Amino acid sequence: MSPDAPWAETDELRVAKRSNPQIKSYVRPEEAAEKGVKAVLSHDDIGRHLTSEMFFSGDRLPGFSDTIEHPDGLVLVDTGMIDRTPAIEDDGEEWHPNPLPDELVSRVAVVVNTHLHFDHCGGNRLFPGIPIHVQRRELADARTEDDYTVREWVDFPGATYVEHDGEAEILPGVRLLPAPGHTAGHQIVVVETDEGPVVLGGDVGDSFEELERGDTPGRQLVLELVAPTYLAHVAEVRVPHLRS
């Protein structure tokens, strides 16, 4: 939490923080409404985790999953990779899975897939019975298009997909927005924080240079949000701007 947040010193919040150390900066929605504040989350509630690495002719491409420590439960955005299959390595790419720690996996209450390419959904199998939010179009394409993903990593025993046709608020302050381009069913996650919106952008761009071209509807949307943006394959977080 930033020290100048208007609710920083309320007794109520101090008590809440003591009684639940997991929740660093939660303001109950009713309390927030009274104070005219919509945000229930802080930027510190967003975490990054390296969940895959790909090596190709000397280059390394990291893959990150993001978490949101929401008062209603831990949200995981993209599940990275937990293993390999020969099918993904026949074009010279060398993929290294980097599974999330068990402690984190056990706390996940909600999963979001920005899209279903295998390096974003390879860990979905760790979450049978846990709601996995995805755009309906994305799931349909993953199930029907050739060479789209590793289909067994998408559909597994206990897979519980929640399909969306467009925008959805899945928890207070956590919204899904369709951001097509990289795939037709690609979506981003917008987290409302006390410092404004934060974008978890998945593969809306492989790099900020690519994102800042603004040449897909998804990239245009993210540029219009003018918010700190996380990209799945870039360690740095920044506010992107359209390149002229």
Where along the sequence are the contacts to Zn ion (CB under 5 A)?
117, 203
Q: Where are the beta strands (DSSP E) in the chain?
A: 46-56, 59-70, 73-77, 94-97, 108-112, 131-135, 160-164, 168-171, 174-178, 187-193, 196-200, 229-230
Q: Considering beta carbons, is residue 40 or 81 the nearer one to Zn ion?
A: 81
Record the tokens describing residue 105, joined without a space: 């996996």
Q: How far is the CB of 232 from Zn ion (least distance, A)?
A: 8
Q: Considering beta carbons, is residue 201 or 214 the nearer one to Zn ion?
A: 201
Q: Considering beta carbons, is residue 117 or 137 the nearer one to Zn ion?
A: 117
Q: Considering beta carbons, is residue 191 or 232 the nearer one to Zn ion?
A: 232
Q: Return the amino acid letter for 49.
A: H
* Distance in angstroms (rounded) separating the CA atoms of residues 112 and 92: 29
DSSP class of 238: B
Q: How far is the CB of 117 from Zn ion (least distance, A)?
A: 3
Using an 8 Å Cβ cutoff, are 89 and 213 in contact? Answer: no
Q: Considering beta carbons, is residue 61 or 226 the nearer one to Zn ion?
A: 61
- How many CB atoms within 10 Å of residue 198? 24
Give the C-alpha distances (Å, rounded to integers) separating 91 from 27, 119, 139, 147. Answer: 49, 15, 24, 12
Using an 8 Å Cβ cutoff, are 2 and 37 in contact? Answer: no
Using an 8 Å Cβ cutoff, are 232 and 202 in contact? Answer: yes
Q: Considering beta carbons, is residue 190 or 231 the nearer one to Zn ion?
A: 231
Residue nearest to Zn ion (CB): 117
Using an 8 Å Cβ cutoff, are 186 and 179 in contact? Answer: yes
Q: Considering beta carbons, is residue 70 or 182 the nearer one to Zn ion?
A: 182
